[in-house]
Structure 1
Amino acid sequence: METFLETQITPPSVEEIAKALRPIVTSGLPVRPEYDNAVLLGLRGVVARSIDPSDRLSRIKALDGILKSQLAFLPDDELSEPARVLFGLAPGTRGQIVTARRQRAAREAGYEADHFRKHIEPKIVRLLAWQIHQDSQNYIPRSRTLPPPLESSGDTPIITVGDISSKDAAEHQEALSRLWAHVYALRANILRVERLKVWPHDPTELATSERVLAEAIEARDYEIASVKVLIQRYIDNYGQYIAHGDAEFNAEALLRLAGWEQDI
């Protein structure tokens, strides 16, 4: 019998998410079509990324993408590669049984296999569960207490009749577009700064490289200030809910969504 899938009002606990991840550890990625755990499939982030939230397989596809994305940026340099091995995301591990993946992950982490299974693996799973919990906090479930009604078509920037059906609706759409434009500009500038730190503009000319990085940091900081101003202006006018396609976000979480967390 097909599981009836709801959208969670609040994210489940980290412990619940970690428990729901265990079958995926056993089977490895990608998430299997038969997976039907409502704890993960009901996550707001999963629902928001699903092309058809009413279809379980669509949610599974979205969940698979979230897990791969979170594992790619696990915030632990020592455990990031072992985690990707454990979940079958590292090259050469797809399709391996969990015992083989666990043994290789243990070697990557520098531990004996039994110690890894008992102590390190639970740490990895909980770390991933916490990331998924944080991701879910970026999304707000749909409710009736939203800004002026929107007509949206996925994440496409099409202007619909509803967007300009009234002065309020048009102003709201304009504010949304300007805010998201700066959020994406901030994300681009954050990525540029991090790229230049690792791959300098011209390694043979240190002074030039330092200048380019300094200019990139200045541009990033300008966008941070701009996004903060626009977020506060949006909250003052429309409240905490902000739409993007078929998903809603907490306006105050946009800096984190763009990749900036230092002063949140």
Structure 2
Amino acid sequence: MRTQLTPPDVKVIARSLRPIVTAGLPVSPDFSDETLLGLRGVVARSIQPDHRLSRVKALDDLLARLLVNYPDDALGEAARVLFGIAPGSRGLTITRRRERAAELIDREAEHFRKRIEPGVVAEVAWQLHRDSQNYIPRGRAVPPPLESSGDTPMIRQGDVANAEAAEHEELLSRVWAHVYALRAEILRVERLKTWPYDPTEPETSRRVLAQAYEARDYEVDAVRRLIQAYVDRYGQRITHGDAEFNAEALLRLAGWNDETMR
């Protein structure tokens, strides 16, 4: 199966999503649309990228994750009902799912179908498009060729075969260490905003949340510095396990959004 060099237009992705919306998730084992199965984000998550069913599973998992994190809180649950992953919506016909989704936002089912559903599908298509921009397709040359891909703390002989390889692995490990640290600090901030450290002591909770913000912002700066150091020396492609990422997309992968998180 092919892997797309660049993700297709959002409208093309949205058209390919229509059969999935109609049938509801999970994605059928018979699904074979290469517009979606060829997305770099789907290929990168596939355990066996050359096997169609492995890509189907990866697409199903990715769609579920995107819908759980749907960016519009007002429409999030309606979107999950529409795609059939919300409790009580699994196995329902598309007509019943539309009716339930419409009820959630106090709209008529026909209005939902004509006016709101296309926007929901387009948003999911855009999220798929954005996700695929995080990955770089295989086959591009990148110095230096290395034995290890950074997916394990094991140190292999190839990692320290020469100074260049050792320096690359060291920087690669530091990048990913701070990407995961940033993800942890983002999660900590969001947790403390929802569940205060000590609800009975507002001042203590505010202080702990302020410390969490400070730790989060430190990791944002650290990831930015390390990304720039990596790109300056090795270029855009960065590995993690069997996946390949655009180095400058790592902040977004960690969950950071410059527009909404300051």
* Range of TM-score over shorter length: over 0.9
Within-5 A mapping of 1:156-175: 156-175=152-171
Q: Answer yes or no: is the 8 Å Cα contact 2:238–2:244 preserved in 1.
A: yes
Of the three residues 33, 44, 59, the one matched with 2:40 is 44
Q: Answer yes or no: is the 8 Å Cα contact 2:150–2:173 preserved in 1.
A: no
Report the AA paired with residue 227 of structure 2. I
Corresponding residue for residue 245 of structure 2: 249
Corresponding residue for residue 2 of structure 2: 6
Corresponding residue for residue 186 of structure 2: 190
The Cα of 1:225 is off from its aligned counterpart by 1.0
For residues 119-173 of structure 1, the C-alpha deviation after alignment (integer angstroms, 9 at most, x for no partner) is 1110100011011100010000112321312334793333333222222111111
Percent of aligned positions with the same letter in both sequences? 66
- Count of residues in correspondence between the two structures: 260
Of the three residues 23, 27, 34, the one matched with 2:23 is 27
The Cα of 1:198 is off from its aligned counterpart by 0.7
CA distance in 1, matches of 2:149, 2:91: 37
222 and 154 in structure 1: CA distance in 2 versus 1, 3 angstrom threshold: closer
For residues 36-66 of structure 1, the C-alpha deviation after alignment (integer angstroms, 9 at most, x for no partner) is 0000000000000000000100000100010
Q: Answer yes or no: is the 8 Å Cα contact 2:75–2:105 preserved in 1.
A: yes
Report the AA paired with residue 147 of structure 2. E
CA distance in 1, matches of 2:96, 2:17: 18
Corresponding residue for residue 115 of structure 1: 111
CA distance in 2, matches of 1:217, 1:136: 29
The answer for unaligned runs of 5 or more in structure 2 is none
Of the three residues 210, 213, 220, the one matched with 1:217 is 213
The Cα of 1:229 is off from its aligned counterpart by 0.9
The Cα of 1:256 is off from its aligned counterpart by 1.0
For residues 66-91 of structure 1, the C-alpha deviation after alignment (integer angstroms, 9 at most, x for no partner) is 00000011111111100000011100
Corresponding residue for residue 77 of structure 2: 81
CA distance in 2, matches of 1:152, 1:50: 19
Q: Answer yes or no: is the 8 Å Cα contact 1:28–1:95 preserved in 2.
A: yes
Normalising by structure 1, we get a TM-score of 0.95
For residues 222-261 of structure 1, the C-alpha deviation after alignment (integer angstroms, 9 at most, x for no partner) is 1111111111111111111111111111111111111112
For residues 179-228 of structure 1, the C-alpha deviation after alignment (integer angstroms, 9 at most, x for no partner) is 10001001100110011011100100001100100000010011111111
CA distance in 2, matches of 1:114, 1:187: 40
Q: Answer yes or no: is the 8 Å Cα contact 1:179–1:230 preserved in 2.
A: yes
135 and 188 in structure 1: CA distance in 2 versus 1, 3 angstrom threshold: same
Q: Answer yes or no: is the 8 Å Cα contact 1:154–1:246 preserved in 2.
A: no
CA distance in 1, matches of 2:77, 2:227: 36
Task: State the superposition RMSD in angstroms.
Answer: 1.4
- Is the counterpart of residue 106 in structure 1 residue 102 in structure 2? yes
Corresponding residue for residue 144 of structure 1: 140
The answer for unaligned runs of 5 or more in structure 1 is none
